[in-house]
Amino acid sequence: MPKKTSGGVASLVLLCLLLQGTAPVGLPPNDLTLTPVGRRWASRTLAHLTLEEKIGQMIAVRANGVFHAADGEAMKDLEFLVRDLGVGGAVFFAGQVFETAWLTNHLQRQARIPLLVSSDYERGAANRVEGATDFPPLMALGASDSEELAYQMGRITAVEGRAMGVHQALAPVADVNVNPLNPIINTRSVGEDPEQVARLARAFVLGCQRNGMACTAKHFPGHGDTETDTHLNLAVLTGDRSRLDQVELWPFRRLIDAGVMSVMTGHLSVPALDPEPGRPATLSPALLTELLRGRMRFKGLIVTDAMDMGGITTLLPAGEAAVRAAEAGADMLLLPADPREAVRALLESVRSGRIPEYRINASVKRILDLKARLGLYKEKTVDLERLSSVIGSRDHLFWANRAFESSLTLVKNEGPVLPLAGESGTLAVLSLSSDESDYFAGRVFVQEILKRRRDAGFDFADAHTDPEKVRQSVERAVRADAILVALFSRLQDRKGTVGLNPLHVQAVRDAAASGKRLAVVSFGSPYFLVEFPEAACYVCAYRSSAEAQRAAVRALFGETGFTGRLPVSLPGLFSRGHGLSLPAARTGEAR
């Protein structure tokens, strides 16, 4: 069992206080208790459903919270899936605040049974909705190691999500990121320590579920020690049963004990837990029924990761994949590659006797019970007039800003290089993005620096920038007295890596070799430093958002301090927990 970290009596008292008085403005408190009235509604509803309607409840389809023309193809398709196919849920992706809330209302009015609306709110609602309160990723919470911030992030996620008609956060990520080469989890994870992952994820779940939004622990049984993006292909999780118990499964056990409402399966093959070679957890009775339901005693909703991802579609057609997921023990199938075919195949599997109807009934009962816990039988639409008083409020922005600032991690400061406030001499800024079509990724970073140093020179580059132009940018930079390099590489599905462009790695090495004062800021993976350990100063900001860039500049110039600690090890350089403290307005070497 991983060694538990003590947060102290004061932290426990504070957390207890946080559990009180946090209901969304204008909404009654909702801790997702299944009331007798809700239980009766779920039972009566199930009793009156046809087999076709039951199977429809097990399907959730994709929706985007953007403007749709009433007679447009996208709207007509959504209306058909909800009204005629009778799907039980929708998963919302990119959108804006008003459009998301309007569309959830519209689809709910099309549905005979209330929809369970979900979204990947890993960084709060802003993870999918432009205009919502933007939080840093979970790894930044690992750097701050604050249960208070994790709880507040969960609370605000619930308040804003429910205001827009979203009921289930497909979060938190409970994966333990022990593999620096992981291309898809990385900063989405709290870090590499199973106990810290469990502790902070649990605080997020408490904040979210005590304010009326269900949470989903993902990606069971653990996606942190892989090098494959399951959006592209099936990943394999190696390790024996003892190792899996100690690392991957530990946070899921803690979250189940904390009452997390749902668990998401990963498209991961786990040889130590499933004897069938190459079978993903999503399709594995050994993992979902025997382990998760049986030995781990999880009684909530099992949802699949998106069934249109390569980790499934490269193995099976949509219909057969849906049947095998249901056979394995999944309750709700998210985003089948072909929803109509998934429903048809599931119907045939029951009619042929392959899947007994009582198995379908068990899943649908869990789905209806969760809808009852969420109060959807009483009210399934939201008040659009409330949005401006809830989304992005001052209270929410206060906690988000605290999360960004407290996570900033000063890994190296030899010289010292920081703080920059009051320093004379010329300053050059290089903004280097390893992503395509992201030339101005560091625009906010440069703008904030120019507010403080109007004479600073700057250059931008992205993955398509001509190598000669990058070389010339470095030549200009090394003529300055001090150099700031901002590095960007988005964590993005189907990209295959979060690593840096080799040309940009060489640019940092050349800048370091010049002997000039050099500070490098990672607005992404903390592991970048492994590529250029000779850099004298290195800061981890964990994310490239405008809020992260502003927070980083404030700290670089000594207006705020550095307090974050690495939640992961940097191989061959620094261990987890390392970080230099540098108070605001401090001069001299950090300790």
What residues are annotated to the active site? 231, 305
Provide the 10 A C-beta neighbour count for residue 240. Answer: 10
172: cis peptide before it, omega within 30°? Answer: yes
Residues 6 or more apart whose Cβ sits within 8 Å of residue 111:
82, 83, 86, 380
Do 590 and 581 meet the contact criterion of CB atoms below 8 Å apart?
yes
Measure CA 183 to chain center: 14
d(CA 320, CA 293): 23
Alpha helices in 260-393 (DSSP H): 285, 310-313, 318-328, 339-351, 357-373, 387-390
| Contacts of range 539-542, beta carbons closer than 8 Å, 24 or more positions apart | 539/408, 539/409, 539/410, 539/411, 539/418, 540/143, 540/408, 540/409, 540/411, 540/564, 540/566, 541/140, 541/407, 541/408, 542/136, 542/137, 542/139, 542/140, 542/143, 542/187, 542/407
Strand partners, 91: 62, 118
Residue 17 CA, chain-centre distance (Å), reads 26
Q: Are 252 and 195 in contact (CB under 8 A)?
A: no
How many CA atoms lie less than 13 Å away from 71 in the CB half-sphere?
A: 0
Distance from C-alpha of 309 to C-alpha of 71, rounded to nearest angstrom = 29
Distance, CA of 485 to CA of 76 (rounded, Å): 48
3-state DSSP call for residue 178?
Answer: coil
Sign of CA dihedral 549, 554, 558, 560: negative
Question: For residue 128, with 0-12 CB atoms within 10 Å meaning exposed, 13-18 middle and 19 or more buried, which class applies?
Answer: buried
